[in-house]
Amino acid sequence: MSTDESVSTQVNAAFQASREVRPTAITGRETGVELLQSAFPAFVGRQVREAARLMQKSIDEGNFVFTTMSGAMTPAGLHRSCIVPLIERGCIDVLTTTGANLYHDAHRILGHRLREVAPDAGDTMLREARIIRIYDIGFPEDVLLKTDQLFGWLLNTEEFQHSMTTAEMHHRLGRRLYELEEKLGVDQHSLLATAWKYGVPIFVGAPQDGSIFLNVVKLRAVHGEALKFNLDIAADVYAMAAMQWLAQNEGQTSVWILGGGVPKNYTLQGEPTLGQILELEARGFDIDVQFCVDPVDNGALSSCPAGEGHTWGKVSAECVEFNSVYCHCDVTAVFPWLVHALFQAGASREPKRMYDRLPEALARLDVDVAERRGSLESSLQVSPSELGPEG
């Protein structure tokens, strides 16, 4: 048998062994898992089915789950329907999001209501009525002013008057909000409060791009140099890398990416920080599940799939081949279905409480970086003439 005939035989054998595209009729009696298995046969539907499989695998195999959430999804309530329940069931271990998601979540704590609006109703009229619009969600401008007062008051207290990471800032805010929410008797705790209760660190890669940090600007204007609050950005990046270094040395790691943007990159860059910058043997994430509407051919990081991430060392080679999927869809339209299926299958585990383990993670990374200190120092002494292409 020639080489071409041998390859053809192998390809045909693999093809014949693959899953048949033959969905069954929907009866209305299916569970979420059964529906995903029987009625999502191809195209984006198949991507969704694969995402469900990999999310389930992440939980079944005890992976450390790093989750990213971009944009302003809390006004739409994705945290109330999905993220908070996932944290409560121990399915999310580390979260990276935007300042907007944490800020807008606080509106409901104060009793304000966000309402549906028509996206083409007329923004000039909405502005005259002092109604803020986030596509098809609206709320009075006064909601922002009251929420600013809440965060300005909290950040002005003594416990925030020192240098810290975004993870520490959000942990402290979460504790204070949890206490407030208990007094107010809210129907569901906020994302910040829930993360504090279950020990989930929340990182924000661009804190200055959110309204919580805008209130720091107010504090600086009032207090000047007397203001001691400060975000240590280098310590923040190091803390994220430490979380990933601890996780991949203890087990398998997953990343669930809801939308693109800064949260996606901030989480994924933990691996280049470990391997490219700190010269450690980082392997990248073992499972990569992404939901994003962006096309993959315009060079935008938001849309880059696992394979492109692998060229940067962000995910492992095995992840690219067997354990990754890019769902080209709106996360708000798909993710609730997958969370429903996950819970219907019994997904629940003890929280890993990664924030509580942050000192341990930092200490471990400190030790391993110290062993590379000589090499790291020598890399800083290079002459510019040595930096060009070889040959």
Given a contact cutoff of 8 angstroms between Cβ atoms, the answer to whether 74 and 101 are in contact is yes
pLDDT band at 383 (very low <50, low <70, confident <90, very high): confident
For residue 130, tell me if it sits in a domain.
no
For residue 204, tell me if it sits in a domain.
yes
Task: Look up residue 121 and give its amino acid.
Answer: A
- What number is the average pLDDT over the span 93-114? 95
For residue 288, tell me if it sits in a domain.
yes
Given a contact cutoff of 8 angstroms between Cβ atoms, the answer to whether 200 and 64 are in contact is no
Beta-bridged to residue 139, according to DSSP, are 132
3-state secondary structure (DSSP) of residue 290: strand
Any idea what the CATH number is for the domain that residue 257 is in? Answer: 3.40.910.10
Residues 6+ apart with CB under 8 A from 3: none
Percentage of the chain surpassing pLDDT 70?
99
pLDDT band at 391 (very low <50, low <70, confident <90, very high): low
pLDDT band at 1 (very low <50, low <70, confident <90, very high): low
DSSP string, 315-364: B-HHHHHHSEEEEES-HHHHHHHHHHHHHHTT-------TTTTHHHHHHH
Percentage of the chain surpassing pLDDT 90?
87
User: Residue 387's pLDDT is what?
Assistant: 87
Tokens in use for 267? 């989480």
- What number is the average pLDDT over the span 299-315? 91
Distance CA 204, CA 218 (A): 20
For residue 314, tell me if it sits in a domain.
yes
**Full domain range(s) for residue 169:** 43-110+149-368
359: number of CA atoms within 13 Å, CB side?
1
Per-residue pLDDT tens for 163-193?
Answer: 999 999 999 999 999 999 999 999 999 999 9
Distance CA 339, CA 59 (A): 12
Per-residue pLDDT tens for 359-379?
Answer: 999 999 999 999 999 999 999
Predicted TM-score of the model (pTM): 0.95
User: Residue 194's pLDDT is what?
Assistant: 98
- What number is the average pLDDT over the span 39-46? 92
Task: Look up residue 137 and give its amino acid.
Answer: I
Beta-bridged to residue 287, according to DSSP, are 254
For residue 11, tell me if it sits in a domain.
no
For residue 325, tell me if it sits in a domain.
yes
For residue 309, tell me if it sits in a domain.
yes
User: Residue 172's pLDDT is what?
Assistant: 98
Distance CA 70, CA 265 (A): 10
Helix, strand, coil percent values for the chain (each to nearest 5): 55, 10, 30
3-state secondary structure (DSSP) of residue 267: helix
**Mean pLDDT of all residues in the chain?**
94
User: Residue 5's pLDDT is what?
Assistant: 83
User: Residue 386's pLDDT is what?
Assistant: 83
Backbone angles phi, psi at 331, to 5 degrees: -60, -35
For residue 19, tell me if it sits in a domain.
no
pLDDT band at 2 (very low <50, low <70, confident <90, very high): confident
Number of domains in the chain: 1
Per-residue pLDDT tens for 199-242?
Answer: 999 999 999 999 999 999 999 999 999 999 999 999 999 999 99
Given a contact cutoff of 8 angstroms between Cβ atoms, the answer to whether 39 and 66 are in contact is no
